[in-house]
Structure 1
Amino acid sequence: MSLAISASLLDAIIQLSRDAGERILDIYGSDIAVTHKDDDSPLTQADLASHKTIAAGLAKLTPDVPILSEEGASTPYATRSGWSQYWLVDPLDGTKEFIKRNGEFTVNIALIENHEPVLGVVWAPAKAVGYAGARGLGALRIEGGNRAPMQVRAAATPPVFVVSRSHKDAALEALLAKLPEHDAVSTGSSLKFCLVADGSADLYPRTGPTSEWDTAAGHCVVECAGGEVLRLPDLMPLRYNEKDSLLNPGFVVIGDRKAGWRERLLAAA
């Protein structure tokens, strides 16, 4: 039986993301000890503390729904390919930004159902701001005790593109050169999705490597705010848990679906 999407479930995940954020901030204010994983990506005690908080919270809240977390045990594709629904978690997205202490890191929790994100929360602990969305419930921006409905905007002139703070490559430069003149903003972690979702930006193209837990929560927030997330270069919907590798292809986050971005991107490709 599938877990039903509800306002109470979304509230619980928002609170869990905030709880995990508190564990991160406990460490953020102290000396940050950094180790490295096999792929040379950085790992801190904050990543692990957030993971433990989220894993325990989800196990209590939804004991029958499996969890796939960046900092959890790896699950063979032979096992997870049979999951119709599961939690996909990045306990601390933007570890490099955390180490730099620039505040641009997030907690990402998403519920995936039949390869699509149907509930997602992105919480930025250092900024005390969150973004949430659930299928059928819309999208919210959360700050302090306030929650406000959130929508993508009609494309601006000139458009505003989001570019990664830490990952910019030749493929992205080539793509940007073929797209219209634009203003650019930079930020770290899945906050890039949220800038499109809340109407601060119009497009976020990404050609560099990402993993599925990096994108799922922000992906859901964007879709619930009226935007879309498409693979590059074929512009088909970005999907999850369809292969052994957890690496995403390139993708683009589009705010205004009526602004002709698909046609421009196909021409650029």
Structure 2
Amino acid sequence: MNKLFLGCFAVFFSFQVSANLLVNPTRVELDNLKNRSAVFSLVNKSSANSRYNIYFEDKQMLDSGEFVTLDKDDVDFSISNYIRYSPRRINIQPEQAVKVRIAARLPKSIEKGEYRSYIVFHQIPLAPEKKDSAADESDVFSLSISAYLKISVPVILRVGDLDSELNLSNSVLDAGSNALQVTLKRAGNRSTYGDIEVINADTNDIVGASKNVTIYTELSERTFSVPITESVSHNARLIVRYTENDKLHNSKSVEVKLAL
């Protein structure tokens, strides 16, 4: 009887946080002054050894919040050519940690603006183990499925004093999903990220929130669905507030009032 072997199918996942690999930080922000380097800590939480290739990719955000990977020739804002990093391949034992260091090397001619690429930690298979010869000679149906993690972390470089202008519009309550559709608009030469809160103006209670929303410089606006987690009356007065993360230069807060 002939033996039938099925090869190993690789299934790729793009998770910012994985149960098997913990990556810290999950966002890096550099500038052309003092913050020119960063250190990643990678912890293997699985029970097996793991190996990762490390490299940079360029991605573009869509207005849906999804990303597409770009060719280098199509990118104006990439920092991958300005970054040195080490190591480029790592092996991590179970419950052990490894450090990955990156540093910006900027030419004097670099133009003012915001640059962004993604450092990728891409799991690759270890060397296959030798199989028992007796098992090799038996008639076996073999199916091996391996899930290889691919974790991408944004690395942002800001050159010069960058700023953004923000406003909120088109806040509409979707009764069917019990969520508030909020459009955040961005202008200027830097991206924005922060938190959207929906506040009951009568009680000052937070009735809904979306954390760590982001609009990168390739987009001028995004619409977010903010879940309403507390009951509000049909004639409630709401305040929709967006607050930028205080790590951003000249961080801002904008709000709009809404009557249901």
TM-score, scaled relative to structure 1? 0.22
Bigger relative contact order, structure 1 or 2 (CA pairs below 8 A, ≥6 apart):
2
Name the one with the larger helix percent: 1
Name the one with the larger strand percent: 2
TM-score, scaled relative to structure 2? 0.23
